[in-house]
Amino acid sequence: MEICSVGGYNEVGKNMTAIKFNSDAVILDMGFFLPSLIDFEESGGDRSNMSKEGLINLGAIPNDSVIRSWKDKVRAIGLGHCHLDHIGAVPYLANDYNCPVYGAPYTMDVLGSMLRDDKLKLRNDIKIANPNSIHKINGNLKIEMINITHSTLQTCMMAVHTKQGTVLYANDFKFDNHPVVGRKPNYKRLKELGNENIIALVVDSIYAGLDRKTPSEKVAREMLKDVLLGTGNENNAIFVTTFASHLARIKSIIDFGEKLGRRIVLLGRSMKKYVNAAQNSNLISFSDRAEIYGYKRQAKRKLKEIEKNRKDYLVVCTGGQGEPGAILTSIADNSLPFKFMPEDHVIFSNKVIPTEINKENRDALEASLKNKRVRLFKDIHVSGHCGREDLRDLIKITKPQHIIPAHGEVRMTSALKDLALHMGFDTNKVHVMKDGLKIKI
């Protein structure tokens, strides 16, 4: 068996891994490296004019030329969840492979709306693969989706079953035993696989260096409750910003907003996209609990009304990274018709994705809000990624022969190697890769 670390092994982003067993190969995830893309677009670049090669040269999508010789052997592309660092490159790369794309309903709905927004087309067959289902690809290969918890809906670990044994792909996850939306991790199936034969575990190492078990989403819910129900906000505007794909978080915000007796308004294009996808997939619907406006024109009209009756509303919006053009950023720079008053509330239920441009944007946003004497509540958030102690539990449950740390810079993948060595793995069984390498197992 050969495994190729196509992307996501030098950086957090552009995840893509390929596995070849005899004359059959499978690709898992095809993601964006968002910092390159954001830099490019903020300096005036237009992605819609870019070729695949252009995006590869920009560093925005994985360089799949390293598996050129496997091209005719690829039988399936599997997508683990809907985040852009896992599916963003599908529209640019998947067409080159004559095979179907497998993903959970929510993942595929988000992919579909991405394709429509960017006016792109896929030639590949789309195969809807529900969490906890197994799909026969041919006589030699099966792909299995295993329900796991993360920071968006229907996240799955993917198991590729071959005659030689199984490769378990575990990007991204945390072990959340109290998820706010969706089911608990499928520990039962992971244990079963651990008692069979997992040849290799390809696994999320972004926080392998942090000595912790990542707290449950229930903890973030309590933090939100504390801020929303426990501060003097009767007469003030309340704006909460979070990741648009984080439906569990949005649900908690709506729950407590209703407790405050406020009308809930969701604003922003991506907010509408991910909330609609959840409704399309029959997972969770907010349409009878919140007004949802994706277009700037509609947002403008609504904000004028909220401005006059600020204590009657709670707004959930985009802009938590301070990204130009998002709702909160546009209000702060006075390009939308809403004026913050002193002591209005802005709650950041997210974390800044730590790139230079994000930090600058977010600092500028906070400075502008403080200038308007707004009250800021930051870091009302818990991560969706496993810490070192979640990883230890996963390794114990699944008992892999080999470990391939993924989803991170080398300092992160090396931290996972360090954990594996502490757990008694031989150094030649833990493979710290770089983008574009292959190993034989």
CB of 52 to Zn ion, least distance (A): 21
SS3 assignment, position 376: strand
Which residue from 11, 172, 217, 323 is in contact with Zn ion, where contact means CB under 5 A?
Answer: 172
Stretch that binds Zn ion, among 80-88, 96-104, 130-138, 242-250 (CB under 5 A): 80-88
Stretch that binds Zn ion, among 92-100, 166-174, 224-232, 302-310 (CB under 5 A): 166-174
CB of 170 to Zn ion, least distance (A): 11
**Nearest residue (CB) to Zn ion, 83 versus 302:** 83
Helix axis angle, 269-280 to 105-117, nearest 10°? 140
Residue 8 backbone zone (phi > 0: left; psi -120 to 50: alpha; other: beta)? left
Six token digits for residue 131: 């969490």
**Nearest residue (CB) to Zn ion, 83 versus 431:** 83
CB of 163 to Zn ion, least distance (A): 30
Six token digits for residue 415: 């931290």
CB of 81 to Zn ion, least distance (A): 6
249 is an interface residue for Zn ion by CB under 5 A: no
Which residue from 85, 109, 366, 390 is in contact with Zn ion, where contact means CB under 5 A?
Answer: 85
Helix axis angle, 187-195 to 388-398, nearest 10°? 50
Stretch that binds Zn ion, among 58-66, 171-179, 248-256, 308-316 (CB under 5 A): 171-179
CB of 29 to Zn ion, least distance (A): 8
Closest residue to Zn ion: CB criterion: 83
176 is an interface residue for Zn ion by CB under 5 A: no
Query: Cβ–Cβ contacts within 10 Å for residue 270, how many?
Result: 17
**Nearest residue (CB) to Zn ion, 158 versus 238:** 158
**Nearest residue (CB) to Zn ion, 27 versus 141:** 27
Stretch that binds Zn ion, among 58-66, 77-85, 292-300, 409-417 (CB under 5 A): 77-85
Stretch that binds Zn ion, among 85-93, 110-118, 220-228, 260-268 (CB under 5 A): 85-93
CA distances from 142 to 67, 123, 192, 289 (A): 21, 22, 16, 41
Q: Cα-flanking dihedrals φ and ψ of residue 20, to 5°?
A: -125, 130
Binding residues for Zn ion, total number by CB under 5 A: 3
Q: Give the dihedral sign, CA 346/347/350/353.
A: positive
**Nearest residue (CB) to Zn ion, 85 versus 366:** 85
Stretch that binds Zn ion, among 78-86, 96-104, 252-260, 287-295 (CB under 5 A): 78-86
CB of 86 to Zn ion, least distance (A): 6
Distance CA 43, CA 38 (A): 8
Distance CA 38, CA 321 (A): 12
29 is an interface residue for Zn ion by CB under 5 A: no
Residues 50 and 111 sit within 8 Å (Cβ to Cβ): no
CB of 164 to Zn ion, least distance (A): 28
CA distances from 88 to 84, 269, 421 (A): 4, 17, 34
Q: Where are the alpha helices (DSSP H) in 231-355?
A: 247-259, 269-280, 296-308, 327-332
**Nearest residue (CB) to Zn ion, 24 versus 85:** 85
Helix axis angle, 410-422 to 388-398, nearest 10°? 50
Stretch that binds Zn ion, among 75-83, 109-117, 391-399, 433-441 (CB under 5 A): 75-83
83 is an interface residue for Zn ion by CB under 5 A: yes
Q: Name the nearest CA neighbour of 317 among 343, 342, 341, 345.
A: 345
Q: How many H-runs (helices) and E-runs (strands) does the chain carry?
A: 14, 19
Six token digits for residue 226: 């504390």
Six token digits for residue 211: 């000595």
The DSSP bridge partners found for residue 292 are: 266
CB of 150 to Zn ion, least distance (A): 5
Distance CA 243, CA 281 (A): 19
**Nearest residue (CB) to Zn ion, 107 versus 318:** 107
Q: Which residues are near Zn ion by CB under 5 A? A: 83, 85, 172
